[in-house]
Amino acid sequence: MRAPKSLATTATQKMIRLSMSLLILVIASCHPGITKIIAAPPRLAKLVPLAEIAAPKLSGFSGVAGLASCDILLADRSGRIFSSRNGSDVLLLGTVPGERAPELETVNGLDVIAWADPQPLLARITLDPFGIDSLPVLRHPWGERWVGPVVPLEHGRLAMAPIAHPYRFRPAPNHAPQARLADVLDAEGSLLTTVGPALHAVAGYRAWAQVKGAIGRQGDTLLSVAFEDGLLYRYPVSVNSSLGKTFLPRYFKPVTLREEVVRFPWIRFGELAYVFSTPQISQASFGPNGTLYAIRNYGFSWQGRKNVYVRSAGAWTPTAQGLEVYTPYGRLIGAYEIPVRTRSVRADVTGRLFLTLQSGGIEVYQDPTARPTSCPSIHPASRLIGR
């Protein structure tokens, strides 16, 4: 016969079970897990590869723009500007001062804008002869000189969204004055007007998190997409009223955005800021005629990391992604597979699609929504070597 358990042993086992239950609850509260899927993503088609541009030695590409001439303009993380000609080489054209990593923007394949942050840079790129013509960076109503996504407009004007930088945090100060999404600048960089929704910001980073994204244009209509909620907006450039907004498809239920700011008494200026969220869009850009190319997130999982300064430290990591292409009104045109760890996407007027990878290299594909490219410099399996 089995000996009966003592009351002390039974009580100890109950305490152990209770302690384990409490531990599981604590772990669950500190480890959010995965986002809830609410809709199946579309079936992803394959892109047709055209070329690969290897990253320059000791650096990587930060920006790319396809030109109407079929040349490809490139910028690397040290500020060097290159051009690829005839599909056989990458030629150094010049260098942006300050070792900044510029992004490159063009709509028509003719007007090219370079922009960078945190060292503010806003400049026009001229090619014949080559030049970097800097424009003044205006002080934002929130007190800083910021540069964000840029799009060339007609008649030499620019639209620039200083708060919407997709991965540079923009803090709103206490009692932040009203600001709008985008500044419309003349050819010399002077402010003409502001466009977009009024940002009624509370102090911190929540306003930035809600408007971070990309801008583009369709004719004289300004387009913007907010990555966090997947909202596509349309605005006339001359006034502040909206022409409408569209929610892009949602595939998962986002978590509640959380921010944590760490300040140290021995540092007078500066702070450590952490924003935890699950954006609907990872990166995006607008191509010719206002077509939207968006790298969509299809779900997130929580990856915990050690950080003594942050409660429940870690990061939300996408579980799957795909490239989705939309009309300027938000209608889905197609969905496509992309390489893992794609950093950005750009399309040009010649029918080419450029995907910049986290490694700094660039892969070139046929734009699946455009006519086959007629550029003679791009051939299947060609490889351009950055120097």
Structure confidence by residue, pLDDT tens digits, 87-134: 557 789 999 988 889 999 999 999 999 999 989 999 999 988 899 999
Cβ-based neighbours of 5, under 8 Å, separated by 6 or more: none
- Is residue 288 within 8 A of residue 66, CB to CB? The reply is no
- Specify which residues 300 forms β-bridges with: 318
User: Over the stretch 30-74, which tens digit does the pLDDT of each residue have?
Assistant: 445 899 999 999 999 999 999 898 888 778 999 999 999 999 999
Q: Which of 153-162, 170-179, 304-313, 323-332 has the weakest average pLDDT?
A: 304-313
Model confidence band, residue 146 (pLDDT cutoffs 50, 70, 90): very high
Amino acid at 129: P
Residue 345's pLDDT is 98
Mean pLDDT computed over 325-350: 96
Give the 3-state DSSP-derived string for 184-195, with helices as H, strands as E and coil as C: EECCCCCEEEEE
CB 23 within 8 A of CB 239: no
Using the predicted structure, report yes or no on whether residue 25 has a pLDDT greater than 50.
no
User: What pLDDT, on the 0 to 100 scale, is given for residue 22?
Assistant: 33
Token representation of residue 65: 């723009």
Rounded to two decimals, the pTM is 0.88
| Alpha-carbon span 94 to 89, nearest angstrom | 16
Residue 132 CA to residue 117 CA, distance in Å, equals 16
Pairing of strands 49-54, 382-385: parallel
Burial grade of 218 (CB within 10 A; 0-12, 13-18, 19 or more): middle
Distance between CA 227 and CA 343 in Å, rounded?
14
Which runs of E-coded beta strand occur in 289-358? Answer: 292-297, 300-304, 314-318, 321-326, 332-336, 342-347, 352-357
Q: What is the number of residues in the chain?
A: 387
More confident residue, 291 or 244: 291
| Tens-digit pLDDT profile for residues 213-271 | 999 999 889 999 999 999 999 998 876 667 889 999 999 999 999 888 887 776 666 67
> Which H helix or E strand runs over 12?
helix 7-30
Contact 246, 232 (CB under 8 A): yes
Name the least confident of 200-209, 344-353, 374-383: 374-383
Phi-psi region of 299 (alpha: psi -120 to 50; beta: other; left: phi over 0): left
